[in-house]
Amino acid sequence: MTPPDPAEQLQRLYLAGFDLQTFDRFPKCVGVMRDNCIALLVPGREGLQVLGTPGWRIGEVMGVLTESDGRQVFQAKQETVEATPERLPNCSNSTVTYESICRRMPHRTEHGIISLI
């Protein structure tokens, strides 16, 4: 089977309410964001895949989940945002939603047959 078309995957994500964003620092990635949770996507053998762990938007950059003074925070350089019980599931839910959307993507097999992932 041929992999899903990344442009079709991005369109489905956009129609599902995700915002798309590019980052100069990550030229081969596309940022997919909803409710301030950002995941970086890269093309892979089976379509777009999440690169690393989703993070939280802090200004114009993505804060990564880390620990500071014994508590979980999203951090981008010197700025931090508390990783509250409300924010953590938000990122997990966005990732699950992304993955379910992309798995249902119709794509063509090497024989031209459309199948659903």
Q: Pick from 61, 57, 89, 83: which is nearest to 70 by CA?
A: 83
CATH of domain 6-58+88-116: 3.30.310
CA 80 – CA 90 distance, rounded (Å): 17
Is 33 in contact with 18 (CB distance < 8 Å)?
Answer: yes
pLDDT value of residue 4: 79
pLDDT tens digits along 36-53 = 888 888 888 888 888 888
What pTM value is reported for the model? 0.74
Supply angle C-alpha 14, 64, 72, rounded to 5.
Answer: 120
Q: Per-domain residue ranges for the chain? A: 6-58+88-116
The parts of the chain modelled with pLDDT lower than 50 are 105-117
